[in-house]
Chains A and B, each alone.
Chain A
Amino acid sequence: MSKIEKALNKARAAGGLRVVSSQLPHAEKEISTENLPAAVSTTALTEQRGSAVEAIARMKEKSLLDKHALAQYQIIYPGMEETRTVRAFRELRTKIIQKTQGRNCVIMVTSVVSGGGSTFVATNLGAAFSFDAGKTALLMDCNLNNPSLHRLFGDRNFRGLTEYMDNSGMDIAEIIHQVGIERLRVIPCGERREIAAEYFSSLKLKQLLVSITERYRERYIIIDAPPMSESADTQILAELCDYVLLVVPYGRVTDSQVNACAKAFSDKKLLGIIFNNEPEPPKLKWRSILNPFIALWDVLFHPVKNNPEHSK
């Protein structure tokens, strides 16, 4: 956890960063950097960064998901135990920031095959970006045939990408939703459509991406795209993005499949490969497991709780 994150968490605990203007309904509307001059001095840029961090800090958040719920959703969080998974996403975030030299960008996350874990990677990458109090992330569910991000919401009636694309008068702010994770926003898929290619090749989607990219300079747009093996639309979508992350699930694809998918993108666009879901046992209480008496006691008298508490 970085110093900034620690400081922010500390301040948040003291309630000092929960000052939000009541005049603005959404955090997105609080800050606009669109009118900033193109060329600014270093001092001005630093000041701007400082103001951006402040603005991000003032982003209005709904009730946050507690760590049990996040753990149940398989989403990493700042206070989480430093496992290899958490470390992997932190390092991935750092690499992306180094690659983009701190400039925000649109990153498409796709998998080689269905069920490869692109949603998992996209969500956790967004969460990793949002660890930093000076950065924010926006998850966009473009897997129109098999959307997954809506699971973060309690119900499925949130308006999303398809509604925005179909309604010309809709404001962007109406489809950007909080999910209970600080500095992480989500554009859900919306109602399911079978005409993904038309959406992906439309000018409106391009304008949407430009708009949300330019809205916050510190906001990273992460698109959860359909898997390469199932949809040719993914390549169309990749044209709108700055970078592509290809998720390779453990033990499910051959290297020739990976190579074929990777060749669909240019070297500049393909940021890299994420090898996902490598089997690794969690930390277990081996002493009690290997002691047959304790194990027998557990099996007989401690039933497994399948429904952990999920609160927002």
Chain B
Amino acid sequence: MNLHPEQLIRVISNEAFHNRKTVVTIFIVVYIAMVALGLAWPKVYTAYTSIVVEEKKVIQPLMQGAAVATDVADRARLAREVIYGRKIMDQILEYAGWMKNNLTPAEHDKIIKRITDKTIITNIGRDIIKIEYSDNDPERAFKTTQKFADLFISETLRAKSAESQSAYDFINKQTEAYHEKLTKAEEQLKDFRTANLDARPGSEADIALRLNQLQDRIQHATQDLKEAEVRKDSLEKQISGEAEVASTLSREGQFRSRIAELQSRLETLRLSYRDTYPDIVQLKHQIEDLNQAIAEDQQQRAAAKASGRVVLNEGMINNPLYQQLKQELSQTKVNIEMLNTRIAEAKRTLAQELELGKRVHGGEAELSELTRDYQVNRDIYQDLLRRRENARVSMNLDIDTQGLAIKIQEPARLPRQPSGLRFLHFIIGGLVLGIALPVGMLFTRAYLDPRIRVGEVISEKRKLPLLAVVPQLWTPSETQMLHREVEWLSLVMSGTFLVVALTAALRFMDVI
């Protein structure tokens, strides 16, 4: 049931009164039980010691970067690892007197487990480790704690020295291995260079340049060749369209055209004049002369033809364009031939260069690999050499116990007073628990039980009018009986407190 805090307190107090016998009974039972538990609770004595673990303040700055100091992040954890180890535990068992009887392995383990459970190792500040050990026997607690501290110190120093030595040994071994590898890599590189003289740095680039030039040359020549061939084709076409000779106007033709001209003039004059007109007569004579000349010319050619003589035709001459084209064609053909020769030569050179390139490329890859191996091995070797020197210094520091100062800050003492839960704690705890338990039970019931114990709930939750809250009305006899009952409860409580007080007194006097 959801109640307001003040309602809850009222309900708990009402219920505590209502169930007064039960509440008092629970209180007494719990209280007595806690006191009895306190009596039975074993006394525990705790001895402790603290150990200072620190780097040498002078050495550290001097050896900064050269020697590696032990990490101090969690010394308590390291201390636990060391102390709980079988080696130290066995010594502890023997020293503190656990090994008196012949123990079976199971008993042995059980004792070790019990000791580790009762041992607390903590870091106090940065450099101090506190070792606490609790035992029923104060003498044994003291001796065990003391031995823990001694063994821890000696074991830590030994372990640290051994660690440094092993680190140096390891690094030294690695250094030698890498030295061998480096020597081998150098040999391989030398052999390769001897075998491949071409394989020098930059050869491949030169070849590539040359190959590019050759390819450019071939390309240009090919281009020129194509142009020349096109030119040749064009010239041949032009030559086929041109006549070898050019014909000029013949003498006969000249005569005839002159005749035609004169005839024309004659016709024109005849329109105006008679045939006797001098100009006409003159023209006629001229025409007859011309006709005669034509006839003579024809006779001469016919005679020449009949006799088989070559007669130079006055009208035929060599064609100059033809001649020029013929000359250019010839020139072009020569050019084509030359270009073909050049391309073939370039291709041959290109093939040679390619072959050389292939050879050089393979060699250079191998050279790179060998060089890289050499460089890596050289770097690692140099690094290892440096590390080996650091490790040597660290080892020397540990041998001389200069790297880590470990000493007992506070030696273990024999505990006089028991620690942990004491009888007084049980008395106070029993009182608190005896009250808290019934109150808690009442609280739980008030919280979980849905039955109404506060009148206001009716009006708040169901909105019903609450007219009155009537408290219990006690009859005189009930009041008297209640009075007597409360007196009884008071007496029982008083008796309980008396018993507890007597028990405590006897306990503190070490009677019980």
Q: Of B461, B469, B474, which is within 8 A of A255 by CB?
A: B461
Residues of B within 8 A of A68 (CB): 476
A66 to B80, CA, bound (A): 85
Chain B interface size band reads: 35 or more
Q: Known A250-B452, A252-B451; judge A273-B471 contact (CB<8 A).
A: no
Q: Of A71, A121, A254, A280, which is within 8 A of B450 by CB?
A: A254
Q: Contact at B14–A278, with CB atoms within 8 Å?
A: yes
Q: Contact at B475–A74, with CB atoms within 8 Å?
A: yes
Q: Contact at B487–A295, with CB atoms within 8 Å?
A: yes
A85 to B479, CA, bound (A): 15
A248 to B464, CA, bound (A): 12
Shortest Cβ gap from A289 to chain B (Å): 5
Chain A interface size band reads: 35 or more
Q: Known A88-B471, A92-B467, A290-B490; judge A306-B482 contact (CB<8 A).
A: no
Is B455 an interface position by the 8 A CB rule?
yes
Residues of A within 8 A of B486 (CB): 284, 289
A68 to B14, CA, bound (A): 27
Q: Contact at B477–A275, with CB atoms within 8 Å?
A: no
Q: Contact at A254–B452, with CB atoms within 8 Å?
A: yes
Residues of A within 8 A of B455 (CB): 248, 273, 275, 278
Q: Contact at A262–B469, with CB atoms within 8 Å?
A: no
Shortest Cβ gap from A272 to chain B (Å): 3
Closest to A292 in B: B494
Q: Of A74, A95, A259, A289, which is within 8 A of B473 by CB?
A: A74
Q: Of B458, B462, B468, which is within 8 A of A88 by CB?
A: B468
Residues of A within 8 A of B466 (CB): 272-273, 275
Shortest Cβ gap from B495 to chain A (Å): 8
Shortest Cβ gap from B85 to chain A (Å): 61
Is B17 an interface position by the 8 A CB rule?
yes
Stretch at the interface among A135-143, A184-192, A195-203, A297-305: A297-305
Residues of A within 8 A of B491 (CB): 292, 295-296, 299
Closest to B487 in A: A295
Closest to B11 in A: A251
Q: Contact at A280–B472, with CB atoms within 8 Å?
A: yes
Closest to A117 in B: B470
Residues of B within 8 A of A85 (CB): 470-473
A196 to B171, CA, bound (A): 110
Shortest Cβ gap from B502 to chain A (Å): 15
Determine which residue in B459, B464, B471 has the highest number of CB atoms from chain A within 10 A of its CB, and name it.
B471
Q: Of A253, A271, A285, A306, which is within 8 A of B465 by CB?
A: A271
Determine which residue in A74, A273, A307 has the highest number of CB atoms from chain B within 10 A of its CB, and name it.
A273
Is B277 an interface position by the 8 A CB rule?
no
Instruction: Give a binary string over A74-104; 1 marks a CB under 8 Å from any B CB, 0 the rest.
Output: 1010000001110011011001000000000
Q: Of B14, B451, B465, B470, which is within 8 A of A276 by CB?
A: B470
Closest to A307 in B: B477
Q: Contact at A255–B467, with CB atoms within 8 Å?
A: no
Is B270 an interface position by the 8 A CB rule?
no
A283 to B467, CA, bound (A): 25
Is A281 an interface position by the 8 A CB rule?
yes
Q: Contact at B475–A279, with CB atoms within 8 Å?
A: no
Residues of B within 8 A of A76 (CB): 473
Shortest Cβ gap from B315 to chain A (Å): 147
Is B425 an interface position by the 8 A CB rule?
no
Residues of A within 8 A of B483 (CB): 284-285, 289
Residues of A within 8 A of B469 (CB): 88, 275, 278
Is B24 an interface position by the 8 A CB rule?
no
A183 to B483, CA, bound (A): 34
Is B15 an interface position by the 8 A CB rule?
yes
Instruction: Give a binary string over B474-504; 1 marks a CB under 8 Å from any A CB, 0 the rest.
Output: 1111111111101110110010000000000
Residues of B within 8 A of A71 (CB): 475-476
A285 to B476, CA, bound (A): 14
Closest to B480 in A: A304
Is A52 an interface position by the 8 A CB rule?
no
The number of residue pairs between A and B whose CB atoms lie closer than 8 Å in the complex comes to: 157
Q: Contact at B458–A251, with CB atoms within 8 Å?
A: no
Interface SS, A side: mixed
Is B457 an interface position by the 8 A CB rule?
yes
Residues of B within 8 A of A285 (CB): 483
Q: Known A292-B491, A296-B491; judge A248-B476 contact (CB<8 A).
A: no
Q: Contact at A245–B467, with CB atoms within 8 Å?
A: yes
Q: Known A289-B490, A304-B480; judge A262-B462 contact (CB<8 A).
A: yes
Is A120 an interface position by the 8 A CB rule?
yes
A252 to B459, CA, bound (A): 17
CB-contacts of A230-258 with B (<8 A): 245, 248, 250-256, 258
A273 to B17, CA, bound (A): 24
Is B416 an interface position by the 8 A CB rule?
no
A121 to B478, CA, bound (A): 19
Residues of B within 8 A of A245 (CB): 467
Q: Contact at B453–A251, with CB atoms within 8 Å?
A: yes
Is B4 an interface position by the 8 A CB rule?
no
A83 to B473, CA, bound (A): 9
Is A48 an interface position by the 8 A CB rule?
no
Shortest Cβ gap from A274 to chain B (Å): 5
Residues of A within 8 A of B467 (CB): 92, 95, 245, 271-274
Shortest Cβ gap from A89 to chain B (Å): 7
Is A72 an interface position by the 8 A CB rule?
yes
Determine which residue in B479, B483, B491 has the highest number of CB atoms from chain A within 10 A of its CB, and name it.
B483
Q: Contact at B470–A274, with CB atoms within 8 Å?
A: yes
Shortest Cβ gap from B348 to chain A (Å): 113
Residues of B within 8 A of A95 (CB): 467-468
A306 to B467, CA, bound (A): 34
CB-contacts of B213-245 with A (<8 A): none
Is B100 an interface position by the 8 A CB rule?
no
Shortest Cβ gap from A293 to chain B (Å): 9
Residues of B within 8 A of A120 (CB): 473
A74 to B453, CA, bound (A): 22
Q: Contact at B17–A279, with CB atoms within 8 Å?
A: yes
A285 to B15, CA, bound (A): 21
A254 to B477, CA, bound (A): 31
Is B309 an interface position by the 8 A CB rule?
no
Is A277 an interface position by the 8 A CB rule?
yes
Closest to A75 in B: B473
CB-contacts of A93-142 with B (<8 A): 95, 117, 120-121, 124
Is A37 an interface position by the 8 A CB rule?
no
CB-contacts of B429-464 with A (<8 A): 449-453, 455, 457-459, 461-462, 464
Q: Contact at A275–B475, with CB atoms within 8 Å?
A: no
Residues of A within 8 A of B451 (CB): 251-254
What are 8 of the A-B contact pairs (CB < 8 Å)?
A68-B476, A121-B470, A254-B450, A274-B467, A275-B466, A290-B490, A295-B490, A305-B477
Further 7 A-B residue pairs, CB within 8 A, beyond A248-B458, A251-B18, A273-B459: A72-B475, A88-B468, A92-B468, A271-B465, A274-B467, A281-B17, A289-B486
Considering the complex of A and B, which 6 residue pairs feature the smallest CB-CB distances, nearest first?
A: A275-B455, A272-B467, A280-B471, A272-B465, A292-B494, A295-B487
